[in-house]
């Protein structure tokens, strides 16, 4: 396993792949380039109760081949998935090769800017549609974009971190490097991003532009200060994000004061980074939580529970 995959909260998709069904439509949103691919799906069962906007994980994984299965538990929700710019939607959860030029285009700031534009385009399309409560879901690295995108989502009812620690990626990366005994390699990466080398220089499979973004990216502070409810779902056998990272963020979130939203945690014993444990699918357990909330949203996202 390459070092970057071991030390970062990277990757997202586990479980078997199935062929996508026409329930999900692929394409782009009006006014956006084809470089920002999206998947959309209506509710599977009436009544339509809420809407979920998803930011997938890192790398060039494309969710189209597994989307039908992955989001199956969201029965009464519309689903919009905003992929990283330049991703091949049909690539699947573990593509052998990324599209040409993807590594040079990949950075948190670029993804966030295009996701923000996509959310604004989506809001314009929906301005004459009866409003629905919306949830913003970040999967792994996608969770690092949530604080910067929340203000763009009308009728936002909460933020959901799926295998996202909530810490700044630099802090979480140091914890993972310590766990793996890879601090010397992490320090070498730090030295590389501090160097005068061009942003286009590739180190550990990513450009220095990517690493420099990551080193300066702030997640924890904005999340902890946010007025929206935060639900975090994580597995305590996660090989990519240490349990200490999730626990550290939870301690900070539970100690917040002032005009902030509630925090709740769904810890899945024995589950991995994809929330899988053998035949147990923790992603569907999380969706069951959201479905329960959707039936009685007045109780709040953290007032829901597993049915």
pLDDT tens for 201-248 read: 999 999 999 999 999 999 999 999 999 999 999 999 999 999 999 999
* CA 263 – CA 71 distance, rounded (Å): 23
* CA 117 – CA 110 distance, rounded (Å): 11
167: exposed, middle or buried (Cβ count in 10 Å: 0-12, 13-18, 19+): buried
* CA 95 – CA 186 distance, rounded (Å): 25
| Per-residue pLDDT tens over the stretch 19-65 | 334 489 888 777 676 678 899 999 999 999 999 999 998 888 899 99
Q: What is the pLDDT of residue 235?
A: 98
23 contact partners, CB below 8 Å, separation of at least 6: 41, 42, 44, 68
Q: Which residue's entry shows tokens 């409003």?
A: 131
pTM of the model: 0.91
Q: Is the predicted pLDDT of residue 6 greater than 90, yes or no?
A: no
| Distance, CA of 260 to chain centre | 21
Query: DSSP letter string over 48-102?
Result: P-EEEEEE--STT-B-TTTHHHHTTT-TTEEEEEEPPTT--TTSBSS-SSPPTTH
Across the chain, mean pLDDT equals: 89
Q: What is the pLDDT of residue 13?
A: 34
| Per-residue pLDDT tens over the stretch 133-174 | 999 999 999 999 999 999 999 999 999 999 999 999 999 999
Q: Is the predicted pLDDT of residue 177 greater than 90, yes or no?
A: yes
Q: Which residue's entry shows tokens 């999206």?
A: 38
- The structural domains of the chain, with segments of one domain joined by +, span 3-297
Q: Is the predicted pLDDT of residue 257 greater than 70, yes or no?
A: yes
Q: What is the pLDDT of residue 18?
A: 36
| Per-residue pLDDT tens over the stretch 292-301 | 999 999 999 9
19 contact partners, CB below 8 Å, separation of at least 6: 65
Q: Which CATH architecture has domain 3-297?
A: 3-Layer(aba) Sandwich (3.40)
Q: What is the pLDDT of residue 17?
A: 36
* CA 137 – CA 133 distance, rounded (Å): 13
Q: Quickly state the pLDDT bin for 2 (edges 50, 70, 90).
A: very low
Nearest 5°: the CA angle 39, 54, 92 is: 55
Query: DSSP letter string over 202-255?
Result: EETTEEHHHHHHHHH---HHHHHT-SS-EEEEEETT-SSS-HHHHHHHHHHHHT
Residue 185 CA: distances (Å) to CA of 4, 195, 212: 10, 15, 16
What is the enclosing helix (H) or strand (E) of 134?
A: strand 134-139
């Amino acid at each position: 396993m390459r070092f970057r995959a071991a030390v970062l909260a990277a990757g997202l998709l586990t479980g078997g792949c199935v062929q996508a069904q026409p329930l999900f439509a692929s394409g782009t949103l009006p006014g956006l380039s084809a470089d920002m691919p999206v998947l959309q799906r209506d509710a599977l069962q009436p009544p339509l109760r809420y809407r979920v906007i998803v930011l997938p994980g890192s790398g060039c994984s494309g969710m189209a081949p597994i989307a039908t299965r992955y989001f199956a538990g969201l029965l009464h929700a519309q689903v919009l998935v905003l992929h990283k710019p330049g991703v091949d939607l049909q690539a699947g959860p573990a593509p052998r090769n990324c599209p040409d030029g993807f590594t040079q285009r990949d950075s948190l700031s670029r993804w966030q800017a295009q996701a923000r534009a996509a959310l604004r385009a989506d809001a314009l399309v929906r301005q004459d549609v009866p409003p629905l409560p919306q949830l913003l879901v970040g999967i792994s690295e996608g969770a690092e974009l949530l604080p910067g995108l929340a203000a763009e989502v009308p009728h936002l009812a909460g933020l959901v971190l799926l295998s996202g620690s909530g810490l700044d990626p630099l802090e979480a990366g140091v914890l993972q490097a310590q766990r793996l005994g890879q601090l010397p390699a992490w320090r070498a990466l730090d030295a590389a991003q501090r160097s005068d080398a061009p942003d286009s220089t590739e180190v550990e499979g990513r450009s220095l532009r990517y690493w420099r973004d990551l080193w300066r990216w702030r997640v924890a502070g904005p999340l902890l200060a946010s007025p929206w409810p935060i639900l975090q779902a994580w597995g305590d056998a996660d090989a990519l994000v240490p349990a200490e990272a999730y626990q550290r963020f939870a301690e900070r979130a539970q100690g917040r004061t002032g005009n902030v939203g509630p925090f709740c945690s769904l810890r899945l014993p024995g589950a991995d980074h994809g929330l899988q444990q053998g035949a147990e699918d923790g992603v569907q357990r999380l969706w069951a939580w959201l479905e329960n909330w959707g039936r009685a949203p007045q109780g709040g996202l953290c007032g829901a529970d597993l049915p």
